[in-house]
Structure 1
């Protein structure tokens, strides 16, 4: 049996999460520009995730939480979050999505943590948030990257809204003590219970005419990658190599996504986009609690 407490396993898991989260941005962007609707993408995600988690739903259902608490947390990684993410990708490319969602997440999470958890950010984290705003501002001005629509600002606003929902999910998870396995079962099934009937009765669909290759790719990646594999790898990385090194690895997600999008989507970031991406990556490290010359104490959040 492999020793899952070895540091080498932790580093591999951390890099695996980077690949999964980066790949999610690219696969999702690919999904919204092909045949399937964003509503199809969401039903595939929740349907596959529920099927995969079915054997452990009864055992790990969060019975210690109230129904409205489960609903709040589920929305933070569920339909509202995905609708904004997928919707934004109809207007802006992968590099914008990765930078704006990952870049503003520590900012929104820090503000909510200060309000609800009384976790006041120190000077370095505040500096990181300021750097984040600068990097994201450059992305907001970018109109030269391949795939940027004339009204890309709509997509940018959607990405900011998506980041806010994830921040709410993070704070609720911390506040109400939701474990990774409980999140794996409660988030997809809660969303499927109310979104499934809405999708079947009212929302536009293209799943019956889409190629099977699209359906299999989106169903497998959306339902298994971020929802199940990434959660387990992220938890393992934190336990073996610690929060600060894990946070440093997660800062690679925007850049990795931009690189993957070049051969798959032919989305070449402009010089302005690359500059904003680099600045945002530095801001993520500072906002995550990594001080120059010292180890940090905060890890990047579980999401996607």
Structure 2
């Protein structure tokens, strides 16, 4: 695959993630968001495993168990942390803190563990994107800043950043499809208890299983496969910043499918988000080729 297409693979993943909120609005009212998240991972894991076996099977020889466990745990933690944050402190604050903190935390982790300093273009792009995200969401009449909710959202952002940086290491050594299949299957096992805690009768409804099927196959299986494929060619910090296209997509879907109204501040925020992402795509296509950062990888043997 041409490395110049990598940013667009990650953007495609982010666009699919951005449809998650809209899709969940069509789920039965009795469906708890955390239960939907757990079911989503279960379906996604099964779907990816089927694809792996259809394309030649899975070889576990010399498989990095420690790194896989860390990636799976990070993704499993992201689900309840994010949904709890949104429940406690609201969609606006929860989304901005979780999604906005992930790129910064990812850049910090790369700097700390990989000794790779983020470029000026990355800082500029990330600043514009996060500012755009803030303007897009923080214009609601009722904004409640709850310390516990903010802490949960930061935990969600850190979980996604860790997943990205560990996955960046894994996809350089194993096929991206095999990586996401194993990681999400294990994540689904971690979240399986939630399927017993929450009432799950809603999944027998046509709307229930169709929404879970869409979320599992498209926003989990396909999206994270594209994200993993893109990670082969770009750094984790760049990938996480590009993933800020998710709230942009969610806002656009909200306007055109759910009839939501955006004020001038939100439209300016959308423009800044697109500008930041555009800058990063230009820099990525010009500077990042296959193998970038291959000499500076985390070591997760075992």
Per the normalisation by structure 1, the TM-score is 0.71
Provide Cα deviations, 1:37-94, integer angstroms capped at 9, x if missing partner.
123213321321233234436933655344332221012222x11112333444544x
Counterpart for residue 295 of structure 1: 286
Give, in whole Å, the separation in 2 of the partners of 1:250 and 1:137: 15
Is the 2:18–2:247 Cα contact (8 Å) retained in structure 1? yes
Q: Confirm or deny that 1:204 pairs with 2:198.
A: yes
Counterpart for residue 125 of structure 2: 128
Give, in whole Å, the separation in 2 of the partners of 1:64 and 1:118: 26
Counterpart for residue 157 of structure 2: 163
Of stretches 230-239 and 36-45 in structure 1, the one that deviates more from structure 2 is: 230-239
Q: 1:216 to 1:210 in 2, by over 3 A?
A: closer
Size of the alignment, in residue pairs?
Answer: 280
Give, in whole Å, the separation in 2 of the partners of 1:150 and 1:70: 36
Counterpart for residue 174 of structure 1: 168
Classify the secondary structure of the residue corresponding to 1:267.
coil
Q: Confirm or deny that 1:192 pairs with 2:188.
A: yes
Equivalent of residue 78 in structure 2, options 75, 81, 100: 81
Classify the secondary structure of the residue corresponding to 2:201.
coil
Equivalent of residue 256 in structure 1, options 249, 255, 260: 249
Any unmatched runs of 5+ in structure 2? Answer: 291-302
Give, in whole Å, the separation in 2 of the partners of 1:83 and 1:52: 22
Is the 2:96–2:133 Cα contact (8 Å) retained in structure 1? yes
Counterpart for residue 66 of structure 2: 68
Q: Confirm or deny that 1:44 pairs with 2:42.
A: no
Equivalent of residue 229 in structure 1, options 212, 216, 222: 222
Provide Cα deviations, 1:209-242, integer angstroms capped at 9, x if missing partner.
4671332233112210132222444567789xx8
Give, in whole Å, the separation in 1 of the partners of 2:146 and 2:60: 39
Is the 1:103–1:283 Cα contact (8 Å) retained in structure 2? no
Give, in whole Å, the separation in 2 of the partners of 1:149 and 1:210: 32
Q: 1:262 to 1:211 in 2, by over 3 A?
A: farther
Give, in whole Å, the separation in 2 of the partners of 1:27 and 1:84: 20
Of stretches 65-74 and 148-157 in structure 1, the one that deviates more from structure 2 is: 148-157
Q: What is the RMSD of the two structures over their aligned residues, measured on CA atoms? A: 4.2
Report how far residue 167 of structure 1 moved.
0.8
Q: Confirm or deny that 1:34 pairs with 2:25.
A: no
Report how far residue 123 of structure 1 moved.
2.0
Give, in whole Å, the separation in 1 of the partners of 2:101 and 2:116: 18
Give, in whole Å, the separation in 1 of the partners of 2:254 and 2:281: 29
Give, in whole Å, the separation in 2 of the partners of 1:40 and 1:60: 29
Is the 1:76–1:168 Cα contact (8 Å) retained in structure 2? yes
Counterpart for residue 212 of structure 2: 219
Give, in whole Å, the separation in 2 of the partners of 1:152 and 1:284: 30
Counterpart for residue 112 of structure 1: 109
Q: 1:212 to 1:153 in 2, by over 3 A?
A: farther
